[in-house]
Amino acid sequence: MLSFESDYTTGAHPAILQRLMETNLEAVSGYGEDPYCESAKEKIRVACECPEADVWFLTGGTQTNATVISTMLQSYEGVVAADTGHVNTHEAGAIEYSGHKVLTVPQHDGKIDAKELERFLEDFYQDGNHEHMVFPGMVYISHPTEYGTLYTKTELGQLAVICRRYEIPLYLDGARLGYGLMSRQSDMTLADVAELCDVFYIGGTKVGAFCGEAVVFTKRNTPRHFLSQVKQRGALLAKGRLLGIQFDALFTDGLYWEISTHAIEMAERLKTLFHEKGCEFYLESPTNQQFIILENEKMETIKKQVAFSFWEKADETHTVVRFATSWSTTEADLTQLAELL
Amino acid sequence: MLSFESDYTTGAHPAILQRLMETNLEAVSGYGEDPYCESAKEKIRVACECPEADVWFLTGGTQTNATVISTMLQSYEGVVAADTGHVNTHEAGAIEYSGHKVLTVPQHDGKIDAKELERFLEDFYQDGNHEHMVFPGMVYISHPTEYGTLYTKTELGQLAVICRRYEIPLYLDGARLGYGLMSRQSDMTLADVAELCDVFYIGGTKVGAFCGEAVVFTKRNTPRHFLSQVKQRGALLAKGRLLGIQFDALFTDGLYWEISTHAIEMAERLKTLFHEKGCEFYLESPTNQQFIILENEKMETIKKQVAFSFWEKADETHTVVRFATSWSTTEADLTQLAELL
Amino acid sequence: MLSFESDYTTGAHPAILQRLMETNLEAVSGYGEDPYCESAKEKIRVACECPEADVWFLTGGTQTNATVISTMLQSYEGVVAADTGHVNTHEAGAIEYSGHKVLTVPQHDGKIDAKELERFLEDFYQDGNHEHMVFPGMVYISHPTEYGTLYTKTELGQLAVICRRYEIPLYLDGARLGYGLMSRQSDMTLADVAELCDVFYIGGTKVGAFCGEAVVFTKRNTPRHFLSQVKQRGALLAKGRLLGIQFDALFTDGLYWEISTHAIEMAERLKTLFHEKGCEFYLESPTNQQFIILENEKMETIKKQVAFSFWEKADETHTVVRFATSWSTTEADLTQLAELL
Amino acid sequence: MLSFESDYTTGAHPAILQRLMETNLEAVSGYGEDPYCESAKEKIRVACECPEADVWFLTGGTQTNATVISTMLQSYEGVVAADTGHVNTHEAGAIEYSGHKVLTVPQHDGKIDAKELERFLEDFYQDGNHEHMVFPGMVYISHPTEYGTLYTKTELGQLAVICRRYEIPLYLDGARLGYGLMSRQSDMTLADVAELCDVFYIGGTKVGAFCGEAVVFTKRNTPRHFLSQVKQRGALLAKGRLLGIQFDALFTDGLYWEISTHAIEMAERLKTLFHEKGCEFYLESPTNQQFIILENEKMETIKKQVAFSFWEKADETHTVVRFATSWSTTEADLTQLAELL
C-alpha cells in the first residue's frame, strides 16, 4: 500500500545496505571500538567543522534524549522544553524515569521563544523559594520541531546566548536534522548548529538508517565515563559496527544531505499537490512532515489506499493528519497519491 | 587479522542480510507493529512449543536484562543472581540504575546451586528483620553462564520448583542460548526452557544477528503496558522491523540452530587443537567459549597474529584468555590458528 | 518579632510536649511498633469513621507525597495535579526523583476542575499514541490548596466519581487538613474525606506538631510491604513513638480540631483587620493563610516589625504576601499587628 | 518491662526535652534557617576542631546514608562497603533505590581491611573491562560497626590514605559515634574523625535525641545545592528547629559525651555481669551493644521479663542476642537483670 505514514516505514538506504554487506565478514572489536565508528566520527567532525567534537552513536531517539539529558543534568536539575517537546509528551516518561523533571515553556509552532525562555530563567532565580524547586539545568529544543518547523539562525543564536549566560547547555534534538538543514527555508549549516549548541544529535533512524543517532558534544563537555553511563542505561550496542557503518555511509559523498534533499523535494511536491487539491493545511511545514486537515469522511475513504498518521482532532467533522516523506518516497508515490485525492 | 575475540566481531549471518535486502522497500508500521515481527513471534512460539508465549524484541543484552528485571520486580524487591552473574558484574550497574539490588548467592562454575538458593530464600523469610531488607523477587540465571557452562534439565527443574514455591519468577538470560542448547552436553530443548522458566530471552546479537534479543514471557505474565515501559527505558526501536526481520530469518529453516551447531563444532575442534598443543584449560566449556591458560610470553607472541579476549590473571606468569567461535568461524581460521600455536 | 510567616514557626502545642514528657522513660519498640502509634491509629480510624482504614505516620509533607505517590503508581504511570499543585512546584522534583511524571491540568484558585479532569483522562485514552505517553495513574489534590482554598463536598465527590470510573486513586494532600475542615466555609467532615478519597494524609507539622503526617489508606489499598518501601525511601523513623505520641495527643479530646478552629478564628480576625485597614486581598481564603497585596514601600516598612512570606510580584509597585495563623497565634499578636498597620 | 532491646527504646534525654520546652513559643524560620540550627552547627564545628566544616541535620540513619551517598556519587559510581555494612543489609535497598550499587568487600568483625580495600580498588582499575563495571566512588564504613566494633586511629588513617590516593571520599556512618569515641578502647577524638573522613555523621537518634543525625562535610565538599537535594529526597524537615534544638542541647556542656560515657559504663557492667553468670559472648564489643549466645530454652525464659534483640541463630540449640544500653539505662536495670539471670 502507498504509505506516507512516517519517515521510518521502509528499511535503510541502499548505499547503507551495500556497506553492511561489504564489511560483513570483517572481524572488529565491539562496543564502538571499531574502525567504522572511528571513520564515521571523523567524517562527522569534518561535516560539523568542529575538530574537537566528541561523537557517540546510540540506537534511537528517546534513548538518546534520556541518555544525554540524564548524564548532563545534576540531580537537582530539570530540562526546559516546549510543552509540545518530544521529551515532554511522547517518550513515555523516559526523562522522569531517569529522575528529572521536564520544565515547560509555551510552544509557538513547536518552538521556544527566546524572550519567554529568558523570563522563565530570570523568574526562577528571583523566586525566593527556588531552592525548593527544580533548577533549570539544560534547554532542550528539537529542530525541526515536532510540527516540522525550524528555528532561524538568529533564533538559535538567541537561545544560545541565554543558555551561556545561565551556564546551562543548549541541547538540540536533531532526529530529523537533515530535513531541517536541507529545507528551502533553512539559513543554517551543520557547522552553525555545532557552534551554537553544546550538544545535539544527528538523526539516523528517520533519515535513511535502520537505526542510530549520532550524539555530538561540541564543547569538550562529554559527561565523564560516558561509555559506562551509556551501558548503564542499556544503550550500548555490542556490535557497535552496525551504527558506525551506517553513519560512515551517511557521511560519505554527502549521502545524508542527498537523502534529506530528496525528501524535502518530495515534501514540496506533496504541498503543491495538496494545494492543488484545495486541501487545508494545519501547518505548512518547511520540512518533510506536512499537517493537513481532512474532512472525516474523505479521510476514511483515502485511508483505504494510502497510509498516513492521525495527528489530532481538528473539530467534530475534521481531523489533522500527517503525511511524511523520506529517502524512499518516489515520484510514482506522488503521482499515485494525486490520483487518489 | 584472525579473530576469536568474541562471538560478536563479525556482521550478521548472510541469510539475515539477504532478508533485510529483500524486504527493504516495503513500507510497514513502526515500533514492532509490522508483519515481520508478527511472523517472527509466531515462529518463536512454535519453536518454544508454547502457544501462549508473549514475545518481544529488544536490542541488546544489558538493555533486556534491565528491562525485564525492572518491569517484573516490585519496588521493594531485588533479583537473586550468582555473584559472577552478568547483571552483578558487567552491566555498569544497570539493574541498580533501575532502583533494584542484585542479591548474590555463590557461583559454582558460573551456576547457582539449588540447595543454596533454597537456603537463601528460607533464611530471608526467617530473619526477624527481613522487612528492613530487600525482598528476593526474582531469580536470574544465565544459560550458558558467563563461563560457558550449562545447567542440566534436572538442575533447571530444581530452580523452577523453588521459584514456584516462593512465587517468584525464574528468569533465564539466553544471550548465547543457541550455543547452550546445541552443545553436545545439553539435555534440554527450547521447549524445556519455555516450560521451566517464567521468562527468558533468546539471544540474537551473539548468535548471528546484527543486534536483537527475543524476550519470551511464557506464563501469561507480561508486565502491564510493557510497550510503554520498554519505551520509557529507551529500548523501543522505531524501525522494529530490523529486529523482526532478523529473528524471522533466524527462526526460518532452523537457521538459529544451524548457526549454533556450527559454532559448537568449531569450538570442539578448537578444544581438540588446544589439547593437542598441550595448552592448559582454565575451564573446558561445553559451549562456544573456551578459557585457556597461556604463559604470558607466549600470549604476547600469538596476540600479534590472533585476537582473543583477556579474561583474568592466572598467576604472575600466566593469564586466562577466552577464545570464542561464532557463525563466521571457518575451518580455515582453525587451521591458521593451529599453525600459529 | 511578631510573626505570621507560616504555620510552622513555633514548636509543638503544649499538650503534645506534655505527652512527650509523660511518656519519655517508657521503653517501647521502634519503627512504629509501639502502643502510642497503635493508639493514635485507632483514634484516627474512629475520627475517620472508617474502621478498615490503615494509618501510617511519616515525618513531613514532601516525604509523604513522594512515598504515597511512588508506592501507588506503576512505573508507566504519572500523577495528575493542578499546575500549581505542591508536587508540581515546590518539592524540588521529589516526584520525578522517584521516576514519575506530574501530569498537569489547569488550576482554578488552586483547584482542579472536575470537567477538565474528565476531559484530560478521556483525551488521553482516545489518543492513538497514548502507549507512548505517561499514563494518568492517580489524581493529586491538596485541601486546602496552596492558595488556602477549599473543595466543596460536591466537587470532591465529582473528582471521586471520575477517579473510580478510570480506576485510579484519588489522593488528598491534607498538610493543612484541619484548617480546611474547621473553615467556616467547609461543608465536609473527616469522614467525608475518608469516604471520597482512596488515600489522604492528615497534616501534623502545620497543625501543631513538631513533625509528622498521618497517611490514611481508606480502601484496604495499602501498597504491599509498605513498611519496607517507607524504609527504602529513608522515611522510617527509628523512634516511631515521636510520631505516635504526637498524633495520639492531637486526636485526644479533639485537640486537632481545637488547634484548627483557633487558627481559623485568628485568620478571620486577620481578614477583618486587613479589610479595616483597606488592604487589598489577592485571594480571601477561607482557611488560615491570607494573601494580601501590599504596596512595596509599605511592605518594606512593616517587614521590619512583623514576619510574613513573600508570595509573588503583583506588579511593578505591589507584592503579594502571605500571612498565616496557627495554634500559637494570639489575640495579642493581632492587636500588635493592627497597631503596626 | 525491663528493656535492653536497643538504644532507641526510650524518648529523649531530659535536657533535650527541657530545651524544647523553653524554646517552644519562639517563632523562627523553617527548613533549618533558624538560630538553633546555627548555634548547633557552630558547636559541632568547634567540637570537630574543624572551622570549615559544613553541618546539616537530617532525621534518621538510612535517610542520611541514602542522601549523602546519592548526592556525592556520580551516576556511574557505587559505594564500597563491608558486606555486613548497614547500607548493604538493613536499609531495604535505599542505596539501590537511589540508583547506586553497593560494592562489597569482606568484613572482619564488621570492619573493612585496608589491604583488601586497596586490592579491590587496584584490581578494579586493572580490569580491562572496568568501563563495563560500576566504579568505586566512595568508601562507607560504620564506627562503631554493626557489631559494635571500632577502627583504631591507625586503621582509619590507612583507609583515608587509600581513599585520597584514589580520590574518592571516605564516609563514616556514626549512628552510634558517641559510644565509639567514649569507648575505653577508643584512641580517637571527634577531631580525628573530622580530619580523616571526608564526610561523616554524628548520630542523634541512638544517642539520646528523639531523632536527628548531624552530617559533617569536612573538606569544603558539600554537594551543590544540597538543601534542594535533601528536599528532593523527602528529607528536609519544615520545623528544622526540632533538629537544631536537640543538637544544640547535645553539644552544650558535653551532653553528647556524657550520654555516651554513661551508656558505655552501663555496657561494661553488663559485660561483667554476663561474664559472672558464665554467659558466652558472640562478640565482646567495646561499645554499647553486647552480643551474647544464649541457650534457646533459657532465652525463652528470660524473654518473658526482659526485652532484647534477636540477632541470629548460633546453632540448633543456641541463639545470638543483642543487649544494648543507652542514656536511659540505669543501675537498677542492671541489678534487676542480674537477678533475672
Q: H helices then E strands: how many in chain A?
A: 14, 13
Top pLDDT among B143 and C128 is at B143
Please tell me which chains touch A, using 3 or more CB pairs under 8 Å as the contact test: B, C, D
What was the pLDDT predicted at D283? 87
Query: Which residue of chain B comes nearest to C135, CA vs CA?
Result: B228
What band does B312 get if pLDDT is binned at 50, 70 and 90? Answer: confident
pLDDT of residue C337: 94
Q: Give the mean model confidence (pLDDT) for residues B308-316.
A: 90
Answer yes or no: do A228 and D71 touch at CB < 8 A.
no
Contact (Cβ atoms closer than 8 angstroms) between residue B235 and residue B69? no
Cβ pair A86, A146 in contact under 8 A:
yes
Using CB atoms, which residue from D76, D102, D128 is nearest to B92? D76
Cell of residue C102, nine digits: 506530574
CB of D132 less than 8 A from some CB of B: yes
Q: What is the ipTM score, two decimals?
A: 0.97
Predicted pLDDT at C10: 98
Residues of C in contact with A66 (CB under 8 A): none
The C-alpha angle with vertex B88 and arms to B92 and D137, in degrees rounded to 5, equals 50
Encode pLDDT of A241-284 as tens digits: 999 999 999 999 999 999 999 999 999 999 999 999 999 999 88
Local structure of D56: helix, strand or coil = strand
CB contact under 8 A, D132 and A231: yes
Mean pLDDT of all residues belonging to chain B: 97
Q: How near does any CA of chain D get to the CA of C207, in Å?
A: 12
The reply to whether residue B97 touches residue D99, judged by beta carbons under 8 angstroms, is yes
What contacts B101, CB < 8 A, 6 or more positions away? B78, B79, B95, B134, D93, D96, D102
Helix residue spans in D73-207 (DSSP H) = 86-89, 94-97, 114-126, 153-165, 177-181, 190-196
Q: How far is CA C319 from CA C203, C291, C308, C322, C339, in A?
A: 29, 10, 12, 10, 21
Q: What is the pLDDT of residues C58-75, one digit of tens each?
A: 999 999 999 999 999 999
Q: How many residues does chain A have?
A: 341
CA distance D83 to chain B (A): 11
Window 144-183 of D: residues touching C by CB (8 A cutoff) are: none
Segment B188-214, tens digit of pLDDT = 999 999 999 999 999 999 999 999 999
Contacting residues of A for B10, CB less than 8 Å apart: 24-27
Identify the band that residue B232 occupies on the pLDDT scale cut at 50, 70 and 90: very high
User: Does residue B127 surpass a pLDDT of 90?
Assistant: no
What integer is the mean pLDDT of B253-268?
Answer: 98
Alpha-carbon distance of C61 to C215, in angstroms, equals 10
Residue in D33, D71, D73, D75 to test binding to A, most A beta-carbons within 10 Å = D75
pLDDT score of C128? 86
Q: Judge residue B21's burial from the number of C-beta atoms within 10 Å of its C-beta, 0-12 exposed, 13-18 middle, 19 or more buried.
A: middle
- Tell if the CB–CB gap between D229 and A76 is shorter than 8 Å: yes
Cβ atoms of B40 and B247 closer than 8 Å: yes
The angle at the Cα of A200, spanning A199 to A201, to the nearest 5 degrees, equals: 140
- Per residue in C14-48, pLDDT (tens digit) is 999 999 999 999 999 999 999 999 999 999 999 99
Q: In whole angstroms, what is the distance from residue D142 CA to residue C29 CA?
A: 23
Which chain B residues touch D76 with a CB distance below 8 Å? 92-93
DSSP E strand stretches across B175-249: 199-203, 213-217
pLDDT by residue (tens digit) across A186-245? 999 999 999 999 999 999 999 999 999 999 999 999 999 999 999 999 999 999 999 999
Does the structure show a pLDDT above 90 at D128? Answer: no
Spatial separation of the C-alpha atoms in residues C215 and C230, rounded to whole Å: 12
Are C101 and A91 an interchain contact pair (Cβ–Cβ within 8 Å)? no
Q: How far is A132 from chain C (nearest CA, A)?
A: 5
Chain C contact present for A102, CB below 8 A: yes
Q: What is the pLDDT of residues A42-72, one digit of tens each?
A: 999 999 999 999 999 999 999 999 999 999 9
Closest-CA residue of D relative to B93 is D134
Q: What is the mean pLDDT of residues D162-173?
A: 98
Mean pLDDT, all residues of chain C: 97
Residue C93 in contact with partner chain D when CB distance is under 8 A: yes
Q: Does A229 touch chain D (CB under 8 A)?
A: yes
What DSSP character marks residue B131? G
pLDDT digits (tens, 9 = 90+) for B28-87: 999 999 999 999 999 999 999 999 999 999 999 999 999 999 999 999 999 999 999 999
> In this predicted structure, what is the pLDDT of residue D284?
87
Q: Is the peptide bond before C35 cis (omega within 30 degrees of 0)?
A: no
In whole angstroms, give the CA distance from residue A238 to residue A241.
Answer: 8
Query: Helix B255-276 vs helix B241-250: angle between axes, to the nearest 10 degrees?
Result: 70
Q: Quick check: B90 and D133 CB within 8 A?
A: yes
pLDDT digits (tens, 9 = 90+) for D201-224: 999 999 999 999 999 999 999 999
D132–A76 C-beta distance less than 8 A: no
Label the pairing between strands B318-324 and B309-315.
antiparallel
User: What is the rounded distance in angstroms from the CA atom of residue B108 to the CA atom of residue B81?
Assistant: 12
Residues D179-185, mean pLDDT to the nearest whole number: 98
- What are the tens digits of pLDDT across the range A133-177? 999 999 999 999 999 999 999 999 999 999 999 999 999 999 999
Angle between helical axes of D255-276 and D331-340 (0-180°, round to 10):
20
Cell numbers linked to A158: 538567541
Residue in the block written with cell 543487649: D323
Contacting partners of chain B (3+ CB pairs under 8 A): A, C, D
C contact test, residue of A74, A123, A134, A320 with most C CBs within 10 A: A134
Give chain D positions within 8 Å (CB) of A229.
75-76
The pLDDT tens digits of the residues spanning C114-172 come to: 999 999 999 999 988 999 999 999 999 999 999 999 999 999 999 999 999 999 999 99
Confidence class of residue B313 from pLDDT cuts 50, 70 and 90? Answer: confident
Q: How many angstroms away from the CA of C76 is the closest CA of chain A?
A: 7
Q: How far is D99 from chain A (nearest CA, A)?
A: 9
Q: Do D61 and C238 touch (CB under 8 A)?
A: yes
Q: What are phi and psi of B288, to 5 degrees?
A: -90, 5
Amino acid (one-letter) located at D337: L
Percent pLDDT > 70 in chain C is 100
User: Is residue C9 within 8 angstroms of chain D, CB to CB?
Assistant: yes
